């Protein structure tokens, strides 16, 4: 199965001045596209060719570096675009707000820890809000690595590779992170991600594989990443429901 570059869920100039059209064109049309193209080339005719994106990520990790790097970066960027929105920033709502208050104290404390960790990630990588067990955490990963490898569910991410901010902020990564947190972050998306959490459990790798398979097959190229996100979420939710029924657990949300 060949992977496709999902369209951005907003116009190139929609995130200005916090993230310019030039940055988005370079980042999405060149960097992300290159990961997709290289992934397709690297898996063609191999045992990876029929696998979902999540399966490829799991099976290539620490084994086939080129496959893993491009697969991980395809997943990470597809997720990252959805974490941004015009007129972003503001506050999370509902259960996610309550959980942030519980695990970090308040939104300001969350923002401070996220900014500190994102700024300190040495070299290229990603800063994430993840759900590990029943607790929210902020983690960073290097290069193409991602939370699913640790069994954590990604709620939100910020790309801290230099290509994400250098045109707009030059070497001032902390300013970019501040813009991400205050002007760009899509709390609605993060809230939706959080609503899908398991009952006291993080999403399993299998859930991710299934969700990413749906994501890759959802016609993202034609209909936009937002629709793909919905397809991802609904499939993930359905998968969780099945898992709950199998284990005899009641499907309920906190
Ligand atoms: Mn990037």
Q: How many domains does the chain have?
A: 2
Residue 1's pLDDT is 66
Instruction: Identify the CATH number of the domain in which residue 115 sits.
Output: 3.55.40.20
Residue 91 contacts residue 107 (beta carbons within 8 Å) = yes
Query: What's the CA-to-centroid distance between 31 and ligand 1, angstroms?
Result: 7
Show the domain range for 175.
Answer: 21-208
- Pair 200, 223 in one domain: no
- Pair 242, 182 in one domain: no
Token digits of residue 116: 């500190």
Query: What's the CA-to-centroid distance between 230 and ligand 1, angstroms?
Result: 22
| 156 φ/ψ angles, rounded to the nearest 5 degrees | -160, 150
214 within domain boundaries: no
Query: What's the CA-to-centroid distance between 227 and ligand 1, angstroms?
Result: 21
Query: What's the CA-to-centroid distance between 98 and ligand 1, angstroms?
Result: 30
- Pair 73, 166 in one domain: yes
- Pair 150, 223 in one domain: no
82 within domain boundaries: yes
| 105 φ/ψ angles, rounded to the nearest 5 degrees | 110, -65
Query: What's the CA-to-centroid distance between 7 and ligand 1, angstroms?
Result: 15
CA 28/CA 198 separation, integer angstroms:
31
Residue 196's pLDDT is 79
Query: What's the CA-to-centroid distance between 203 and ligand 1, angstroms?
Result: 25
- Pair 103, 223 in one domain: no
2 within domain boundaries: no
Residue 198's pLDDT is 54
Query: What's the CA-to-centroid distance between 163 and ligand 1, angstroms?
Result: 6
- Could you give the 3-state DSSP secondary structure of residue 41? helix
- Pair 157, 119 in one domain: yes
Query: What's the CA-to-centroid distance between 164 and ligand 1, angstroms?
Result: 5
86 within domain boundaries: yes
- Pair 119, 233 in one domain: no
| Percent of residues in the chain assigned helix, strand, coil, to nearest 5 | 55, 10, 35
| 49 φ/ψ angles, rounded to the nearest 5 degrees | -60, -30
Query: What's the CA-to-centroid distance between 237 and ligand 1, angstroms?
Result: 27
- Pair 201, 88 in one domain: yes
- Pair 59, 78 in one domain: yes
Residue 240's pLDDT is 38
Query: What's the CA-to-centroid distance between 159 and ligand 1, angstroms?
Result: 6
Structure-token match 């016609």, residue found: 219
Contacts of 115-122 with CB under 8 Å at 24 or more apart are: 115/174, 115/177, 115/178, 115/181, 118/158, 118/160, 118/173, 118/177, 119/173, 119/174, 119/177, 121/160
- Pair 25, 148 in one domain: yes
CA distances from 16 to 13, 84, 85, 200 (A): 6, 12, 11, 38
| 118 φ/ψ angles, rounded to the nearest 5 degrees | -65, -40
Average pLDDT per consecutive 10 residues, the chain (254 residues; last block may be shorter): 92 98 98 98 96 94 97 96 96 95 98 98 97 94 96 95 96 97 97 72 39 44 36 39 39 36
- Pair 166, 230 in one domain: no
- Pair 34, 129 in one domain: yes
């Amino acid at each position: 199965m060949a992977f496709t570059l999902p369209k951005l869920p907003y116009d190139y100039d929609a995130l200005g001045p916090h993230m310019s059209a030039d940055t988005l064109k370079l980042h999405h049309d060149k960097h992300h596209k290159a990961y997709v193209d290289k992934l397709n080339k690297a898996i063609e005719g191999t045992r990876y060719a029929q696998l979902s994106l999540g399966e490829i990520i799991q099976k290539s990790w620490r084994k086939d570096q080129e496959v893993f790097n491009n697969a991980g970066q395809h997943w990470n960027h597809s997720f990252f675009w959805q974490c941004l929105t015009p007129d972003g920033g503001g506050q999370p709502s509902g259960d996610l707000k309550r959980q942030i208050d519980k695990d970090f104290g308040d939104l300001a404390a969350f923002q401070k820890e996220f900014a500190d960790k994102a700024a300190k990630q040495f070299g290229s990588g990603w800063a994430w809000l993840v759900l590990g067990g029943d607790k929210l955490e902020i983690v960073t990963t290097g290069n193409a690595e991602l939370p699913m490898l640790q069994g954590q569910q990604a709620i939100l991410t910020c790309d801290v590779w230099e290509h994400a901010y250098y045109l707009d902020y030059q070497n001032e990564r902390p300013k970019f992170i501040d813009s991400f947190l205050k002007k760009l972050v899509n709390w609605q998306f993060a809230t939706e991600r959080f609503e899908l959490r398991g009952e006291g459990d993080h999403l399993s790798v299998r859930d991710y594989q299934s969700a990413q398979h749906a994501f890759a097959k959802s016609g993202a190229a034609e209909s936009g990443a937002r629709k793909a996100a919905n397809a991802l979420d609904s499939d993930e939710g359905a998968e969780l429901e099945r898992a709950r029924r199998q284990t005899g657990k009641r499907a309920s949300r906190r």
